Amino acid sequence: MSQSKRMDILTLASLSLGLLTLGIGAFLAFTAPPATEQGHVYRIIFLHVPSAWVGMVSLFVAVAYSILYLARGKAHYDRMATAVIEVALLFLSLTLISGMLWGRPTWGVYWTWEPRLTTFAILLVVYIGYFVVRSAIEDPELRAKASAAISILGAINVPITYMSVKWWRSLHQTQTFDLTTGRSNFDPAMLPALLVNILALSLLFLAFVRIRGLLAERESAKQELSPQAG
């Protein structure tokens, strides 16, 4: 049996550091002051916003890998794009679930067909479709090209989803941190908890993607050794 690649130091470091930071982040999230309007329920923000930001930004990382694949044609880039999107889907599901659990006590409903929620639902369905298409195409090269196209086109929905609360009337409030104007409406005393949790989820994202990429690499190496077993 050939020497299989092992988890490298970067993966292990980001995994352990991510878990540690997540613990600190949880502590900060529960010790941050309550909010005047929402009381304690606003603390869901410390999970909802970091998972949303990391998940959404990573879709652009997937675009970069997809473009690299189309330009260079190396299977590695295809595997990495898929790994990024797979973990992003996990994080965005966390955004969805935490958002629904937050919506019920504040808005009064788990779900409503308002612009932010609808554009986000479309985003999720597109990236679920990414995996359906992958599983349907057997030719590796065609599969990689088709999924690169979905990854690049699907990311158009990321800025649309981000801007949806401004472009259309929505139930979802506008951005607390508005990247288009640079303005924010967040108490500085709550900021450390948010930043630490963003760091924690970013580190965990990096670790998960690297582990997923390694698994995909081993899978394809195994399939090359014994094609009929694949």
- Site of interaction with other proteins (CB under 8 A): 32-38, 42, 45, 105-109, 112-115, 118-119, 121-122, 125-126, 128-129, 132-133, 135-136, 168-171, 173-176, 185-187, 189-190
The helix (run of H) or strand (run of E) holding residue 45 is helix 45-72
**Residue 42 or 76 having the CB closest to other proteins:** 42
> What radius of gyration, in Å, describes the C-alpha atoms of the chain?
19
List beta partners, residue 183. 178
**Residue 55 or 103 having the CB closest to other proteins:** 103
**Residue 40 or 218 having the CB closest to other proteins:** 40
**Residue 74 or 104 having the CB closest to other proteins:** 104
Count the Cβ atoms, other than its own, within 10 Å of residue 24: 15
Distances in whole angstroms, Cα of residue 82 to Cα of each of 5, 76, 86, 137, 208: 19, 10, 6, 14, 12
Q: How far is the CB of 13 from other proteins (least distance, A)?
A: 32
**Residue 15 or 144 having the CB closest to other proteins:** 144
Residues in contact with 196: Cβ distance below 8 Å, sequence separation at least 6, in sequence order: 21, 24, 25, 28
55 contacts 95 by C-beta, under 8 angstroms: yes
Q: How far is the CB of 185 from other proteins (least distance, A)?
A: 4
Q: How far is the CB of 51 from other proteins (least distance, A)?
A: 17
Tokens read off for 75: 């299977």
Q: Which of 183, 144, 188, 142 is nearest to 166 (CA)?
A: 183
Q: How far is the CB of 192 from other proteins (least distance, A)?
A: 13
DSSP state, residue 194: H
**Residue 167 or 221 having the CB closest to other proteins:** 167
Q: How far is the CB of 86 from other proteins (least distance, A)?
A: 16
Question: Which one-letter amino acid corresponds to residue 162?
Answer: Y
Q: How far is the CB of 17 from other proteins (least distance, A)?
A: 27
Q: Which of 68, 52, 18 is nearest to 211 (CA)?
A: 18
